[in-house]
């Protein structure tokens, strides 16, 4: 037990430098604005006095290291600045909009895994078959797909041509009101509230954006699964298992698959990075009210605090997600959890 705890602790400590790095880089980005940063934060209509005031209150007149300390302590108190356009604190707005992004990302991951894992496994167990060919096409073509293009094509086909999907206008059709917010994830909250009509409405809106993102990450997951499975299937211990007469299913699932999935889990970290990045674009295409579109709207309005808050939040989220994946891997691979 102590061994596992010490391994977990070590992983947590290893993530710390990355967190620090994220904060430092975000800080540098806030100070990298060309021209006078105080003028940006004061707004285009500010007078000279107002700009000076902002400069003093935000500490732009102090030396850089001191600015950094002020920045960090502000962050620690939850002060990410305020949006010029909405006047609201950035952190609050980010937190309000985060569940929308997370719901889409999580669902997309589930869908992608549900398709890519079996695809990769079958491509490996039936090399040269049509499944294998499909897998290869997906893997090669998948990484070339521009998300905005796929999203628009899907919207055109399924909404305009076929009428199966609703208009890409956000999380819910305006005639519905959101469920009582327990998790912020409409699918779960609607279920908890027992409102099936609402659940279905939320689900319909989720389909296209989720599908777009899932298509994007299918490729790396399928590729890794196939490669890993191929390697494991030709390994010594699988040969021993077959030589002992174990059934095909046992060999493939209990011996091959479990071992093959381990490297796939480590791929998930990288996959999350792709998803968080592409979520920005998908939110724009589908009018999804998540953190990505929040940042884009702020950018267009030259409102910088939200953008910086967004970059920081994404960086922190990504580090934490990687940590979670790391910890998951640690727990499922006995060779690591038993490290002495």
Partner 1 sequence: MNNTLRHVRHVLSENPVTMVAAALFGLFVLLAIFGPLIVPYDPLASGAAHALKPPSAAHWFGTDSLGRDILSRTIVATRLDLGIAVAAVVLSFGIGIALGLAAGYFGGGWDLTVTRLSDTIMAFPLFVLAMGIVAALGNTVGNIVLATAIINLPFYVRVARAETNVRRSAGFIEAARLSGNGDLRILALHLFPNILPPAMVQVSLNMGWAILNAAGLSFIGLGVRPPTPEWGILVAEGAQFIVSGEWWVSFFPGAVLMLAVFSFNLLGDALRDIFDPRKRT
Partner 2 sequence: MTSVPLLEVRDFSLEFRTRSGTVRAIEHVNLRLNKGEIVGLVGESGSGKSVLSYAMLGISDSAARVTGGSAVFGGIDLLSASESTLSDLRGREISMIFQSPRTALNPIRPVGRQIEDVLRRHAIATRGRTGPDMGQGLRERSVQALREVAIADPERRWSAYPFEMSGGMCQRVMIAIALACRPSLLIADEPTTGLDVTTQAAVMDLITGLARERQMATLFITHDLGLAAEYCDRIVVMHAGHAVESAPTKALFAAPRHPYTARLMSSTPGPESSLASLEPVPGQLPDLRRSDLPPCRFSERCIRASALCSDTLPLLDADAVHAVACWHPMEAAHV
Residue 261 lies near partner 1 (rule: CB under 8 A): no
CB of 258 to partner 2, least distance (A): 7
Contact between 229 and partner 1 per CB under 8 A: no
- Please check whether residue 215 is in contact with residue 224, taking contact to mean a CB–CB distance below 8 angstroms: no
The gap from C-alpha 184 to its chain's centroid, in whole angstroms, comes to 16
CA distances from 220 to 133, 206, 224, 308 (A): 16, 22, 6, 29
- Residue 6 binds partner 2, judged by CB under 8 A: no
Candidates 74, 61, 62, 59; CA nearest to 23 is 74
Of 54, 96, 33, the residue nearest 294 (C-alpha): 96
Question: From the CB of 237, what's the least distance to partner 1, in Å?
Answer: 21
The strand pairing partners of 89, in sequence order, are 82
Work out what residue 338 binds among partner 2, partner 1, none; the CB cut-off runs from 5 to 8 Å by kind.
Answer: partner 2
- Would you count residue 174 as binding partner 2 (CB under 8 A)? no
- Closest approach of Cβ 129 to partner 2, in Å? 13
Residue 129 in the binding site for partner 2 (CB under 8 A): no
CB-count exposure of residue 41 (10 Å: 0-12, 13-18, 19+): buried
> Nearer Cβ to partner 1, position 163 or 334?
163
Q: Pick the closer one to partner 2 by CB: 112 or 256.
A: 256
Site string for partner 1, 33-52 (x = CB under 8 A): xx------------------
Nearer to partner 2, 104 or 238 (CB): 238
Give the footprint of partner 2 on residues 234-273 (CB under 8 A). Answer: 235-237, 239-247, 250, 254-255, 258-259, 262
Q: Where are the alpha helices (DSSP H) in 62-195?
A: 64-76, 90-125, 130-142, 147-154, 186-192
287: helix, coil or strand? coil
Q: How far is the CB of 127 from partner 2 (least distance, A)?
A: 9
DSSP 160-188: IIS--SPPSSSSS-TTS-PPP-SSS-HHH
Residue ranges in contact with partner 1 by CB under 8 A? 17-19, 21-22, 24-26, 29-30, 32-34, 139-141, 143-149, 152-153, 155-156, 159-160, 167-168, 223, 226-227, 272-278, 280-281, 284-285, 295-296, 299-300, 304, 307-308, 310-311, 314-315, 318-319, 322
């Amino acid at each position: 037990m102590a061994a596992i705890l010490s391994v977990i602790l070590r992983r947590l400590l290893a993530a710390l430098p990355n967190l620090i790095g994220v904060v430092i880089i975000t800080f540098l980005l806030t100070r990298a604005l060309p021209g006078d940063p105080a003028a940006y934060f004061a707004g285009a209509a500010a007078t000279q006095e107002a700009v000076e005031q902002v400069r003093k209150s935000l500490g732009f007149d102090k030396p850089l290291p001191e600015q950094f300390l002020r920045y960090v302590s502000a962050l620690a108190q939850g002060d990410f600045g305020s949006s010029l356009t909405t006047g609201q604190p950035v952190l609050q707005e980010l937190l309000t909009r985060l569940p929308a992004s997370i719901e889409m990302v999580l669902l997309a991951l589930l869908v992608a895994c549900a398709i890519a894992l079996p695809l990769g496994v079958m491509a490996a167990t039936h090399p040269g078959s049509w499944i294998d060919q499909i897998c290869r096409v997906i893997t090669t073509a998948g990484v070339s797909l521009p998300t905005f293009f796929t999203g628009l094509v899907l919207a055109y086909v399924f909404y305009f041509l076929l009428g199966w999907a609703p208009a890409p206008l956000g999380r819910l059709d305006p005639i519905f009101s959101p469920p009582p917010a327990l998790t912020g994830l409409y699918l779960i909250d609607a279920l908890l509230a027992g409102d099936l009509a609402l659940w279905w409405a939320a689900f319909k809106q989720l389909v296209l954006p989720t599908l777009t993102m899932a298509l994007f990450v299918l490729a790396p997951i399928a590729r890794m699964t196939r490669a890993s499975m191929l390697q494991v299937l030709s390994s010594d211990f699988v040969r021993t298992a077959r030589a002992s007469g174990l059934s095909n299913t046992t060999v493939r699932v209990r011996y091959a698959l479990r071992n093959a999935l381990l490297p796939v889990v480590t791929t998930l970290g990288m996959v999350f990075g792709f998803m968080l990045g592409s979520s920005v674009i998908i939110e724009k295409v589908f009018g999804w009210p998540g953190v990505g579109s929040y940042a884009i709207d702020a950018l267009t309005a030259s409102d910088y605090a939200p953008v910086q808050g967004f970059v920081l939040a994404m960086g922190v989220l990504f580090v934490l997600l990687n940590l979670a994946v790391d910890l998951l891997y640690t727990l499922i691979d006995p060779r690591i959890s038993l490290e002495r």
